[in-house]
Chain A
Amino acid sequence: MEFRLSAQEENLRKNVERFVLDQLIPLEPEFANAPDIFEGSRWKSRVKSSDDPEIKRYLGIMEGLRRKAEEEGLWHLDVPKHYGGLEVSNVALIAVTEELEKSSVPFELGNHVSNILYGCTGEQIEKYLWPCIRGEKTSAFGLSEPASGADPSMMQTTATPDGEFFVINGTKMFPTFADVADFVQLFARLPGTSGRDGVTCFLIDTGAPGYSIARSIATIAGSEPCELIFENCRVHKSQVLGEVGKGWALNQAWLGARRFQVGIRAHGKSARVLRIVRDLVRHDEKARDRWASTIGHFLGETEALRTLTYLGAWKADQKLDVRAEAANVKLFATELLHRVIDFALEVAGPSGLRKNHFLARAFRHARATRIVEGPSEIQRHIIQRALFREGIAGLELS
């Protein structure tokens, strides 16, 4: 049993650590008062076309960081070797994010190509995959609907075959960034199917006839998901990603890959929140005494989350079934972050809720994470299902 990173992974981690120290930490004062426009390296829809010089300045800074990261060979870490990337392990990607999260500057490495797009075939590769790898195109993910969220098998959007085409009808809720994306990965079912059967994934260009983006929707988290409407949208069969009727596995793969990143981000954020708490009580002996043990408790929980996340990533690298681990990490991470921030606000008092305060933002953003990509209750459901299916075997050491 060996918990250390391999030499190669450690090397990468060190490079990112240096990048964070040299490039991100010096920018922290700058970003302390930045407008709430960032979600990772991506920025919100309105922002992209903003004329506000202040916003443009921040976008310029982000662009500069991207160039530097590219120069240092840190940009295409998760891209398969076949497409010119480094294809580093899941464990390495966790180590990378762990380093990035040490800074409050919301910068991420890479273009975050939706992992299921590596299943593109034929012309799809030139049209969607390569532009996404190069950062020229972005995608949205259309799974949830007005009446099906946590349980996507209830989706009602239909794709009716019509010769060489499919005709799509239905409404999709909450795809983030759809309004600025170049295309959507849309899930719809073949007529007469139910449950997981017949689900098919289509790549549909923004602006395709019959596909309209009704609106973007303000949320507590500052993200702006969209509502998409498909009205007799005719899509050629060459736009099917993977096989017709085999789309269920794709949406599960897309969700699964993200869980461990959610874990390590929550770890980093939780650690930063605790550092803020430390700063708040630094000169107040009474407060230090009052909160020391709660701080210690949350430090331990944060450490536990880190260990759990690395375990899951390692298991994913071994190509083992990680559904239970992934659910575990998602549940633990988002619930912990919520509790840490809730505690930090108790220490900070009302001033912690000033609109641009780090804690206020963290508070709003964290609330959504307990819902997005599968609410906590669904994670518990997945975990108990595995328990009653396999007993304790999934917890055994091998």
Chain B
Amino acid sequence: MGMAVTDTVMFPEEYEKLEHVVQSVLRDANAKVVFLVDKNGQQIAAAGQMENIDTTSLASLTAGNVAASDGLARLLGDNEFTVLFHEGDPDSIHISVVNDRMILVVVFDMRSSLGLVRLRVRKCHESLVEILHQMDARAAQAATAGPSADSPFVEITDDDIDALFAD
């Protein structure tokens, strides 16, 4: 099977929409931090009090957590666990899988509640799915077009790549 050279491409329009949804969840769920992560561990969007959080590591660990849970689900004969909840003190984490592609992570404390977070997350999933479809449509559309002048790869040279590794 041939492999796609790139699989996830984020355009500014969709990125802003995702940021807007994440900000809405943060506000409506009274959460501390809200992240959107892809299943490969890349952070897509984030909102909230992130000053003391290593967001890169959080994205990677969340994806690993979900992947391990998926493995468990399959062993039990289920498709996947679409929602994971970790209760902590003082922070808890609600993790939900969106359209089998993205992971929405909501970190909250006693200023919110699991019920409120679940409600707000459920409501925003539809918006997120719609945005993902728009991303796919634009990616498919752009794939048939010629190379964009803004693409980082169109004029990339060997020197450009070598410069990355210069000490």
Q: Is A bound to B?
A: no
Binding site for B on A (CB under 8 A): none
Binding site for A on B (CB under 8 A): none
